Chain A
Amino acid sequence: MTRFLLPVGLFALLVVVLAIGIQRAPQKNIIPSALLGKPAPAFSLPELGAPGVTFDSSAYAGRWWILNVWGTWCVECRAEHDMLLEMRRSGLAPIVGLNWKDDDVEAQRWLAQLGNPYERVPVDAEGRVAIDWGVYGAPETFLIDPQGVVVHRHVGPITAEVWDAEFRSRLPRSDAPPTMPVPDADTSVVEPAPAGAAS
């Protein structure tokens, strides 16, 4: 009888391991970002609808900010759009909308019709910046802290639950607009340029 104990025990162990694997499977569809805890890739791109204006990500140094990757060809982006507008209204962190491989005219029409949740809209027509950020599908949304580190990445549309649990919970609670921590170590950091061309 005892000679069956080991194989049966091993089988039971296998069942438990596989059961845990199956239960956790839905989360495994989402590939964790390789950028978490690392400095956000710097980039500069032309601004949507503003010829000659360049967006530079260094403008957000010292601030919490959100990068949302979107395109008018992206169905799920339409689904999250109202939530993005609500996020802008909360005033907790500015949202930069990276317009990924899109048509400029379509993109401008989209923002005019649905409302513009973005403070700035850099245009990544060739998809090079998206590759630097490890983007593999829109929408993707990143949270960047004042030190310029990627704190969180969400794949798929943002819902009220996702906003509360994954973004708002990480942002400093304040009714006032996000304060500007003065970087004392690095004085070379320029004051975040006011988004003059945007809006």
Chain B
Amino acid sequence: MTAGIGRILAVVVALLCLMSPPALAVDPVELDDPALQARYRALSHELRCMQCQNQSIADSPVGLAGDLRREVRELLVEGRTDAEIRSHLAARYGDFILFRPQFNARTAWLWAAPGVLLLIGLVVAVRVVRGRAARADATDDEADLPA
């Protein structure tokens, strides 16, 4: 009898575990078309929630994030491309809403900075290494002298 209850409890716990992921998700809405749903998931993770600025609209329970998700869904269903949806929202909220900013005159330095810094680092490294090599040669020469 007790073994039976134990088994039932185990099944109930297992079922509860199965139910938890949807319960944890902020956004329970699913689009009918799986392809659209995949694009919706991806897009909503790369759009910033403007009220709670370090979360995406997919992760935020705030009202405005929900409104923005609805906007994205409607644009997807209308048949707009990802790029069109990104610029649609950037035209209203500015580049700040995009976690991955578009490349334009204002963001050029942002995208170029890592490359430029890497280049500076390489130049410095090459100069240091060459300087050391030259000095090592010089000391080798000196060491040779007494012999």
Contact = CB atoms under 8 A, between A and B. Distances in A.
Interface of A: 31-35, 101, 126-128, 130-134, 136-137
Given A126-B67, A136-B64, A131 B50 contact: no
B90 A34 contact: yes
B71 A136 contact: no
Contacts of A128: 67, 71
A126 B92 CA distance: 17
Nearest to A7: B124
Contacts of A35: 92
A31 B50 contact: yes
Nearest to A137: B51
B67 A127 contact: yes
Q: Does more than half of chain B's interface fall in helix, strand or loop, or is it mixed?
A: helix
Contacts of B63: 101, 127
Interface string B83-104: 0000000111110100000000
Nearest to B66: A127
Interface in B93-135: 93-94, 96
Contacts of A136: 50-51, 64, 93
A34 B67 contact: no
A34 B91 contact: yes
B36 interface: no
Contacts of A137: 50-51, 64
A137 B63 CA distance: 10
B39 to A, nearest CB: 19
Contact of A31 (B64, B68, B71, B96): B96
B5 to A, nearest CB: 48
A130 B92 CA distance: 10
A75 to B, nearest CB: 14
Among all A-B residue pairs, the 7 with the closest Cβ atoms: A136-B50, A34-B94, A134-B92, A127-B67, A134-B93, A31-B96, A131-B71
Given A131-B71, A137-B51, A34 B64 contact: no
Contacts of B90: 34
16 contacts: A31-B93, A31-B94, A33-B94, A34-B92, A101-B63, A126-B67, A127-B63, A128-B71, A132-B92, A133-B92, A134-B92, A134-B94, A136-B51, A136-B93, A137-B50, A137-B64
Max chain A CB contacts within 10 Å: which of B63, B64, B68, B92? B92
A132 to B, nearest CB: 6
Nearest to A133: B92
A127 B92 CA distance: 14
Contacts of B50: 31, 136-137
A32 B68 CA distance: 19
Nearest to B92: A134
A175 B94 CA distance: 37
A126 B74 CA distance: 14
A126 B96 CA distance: 23
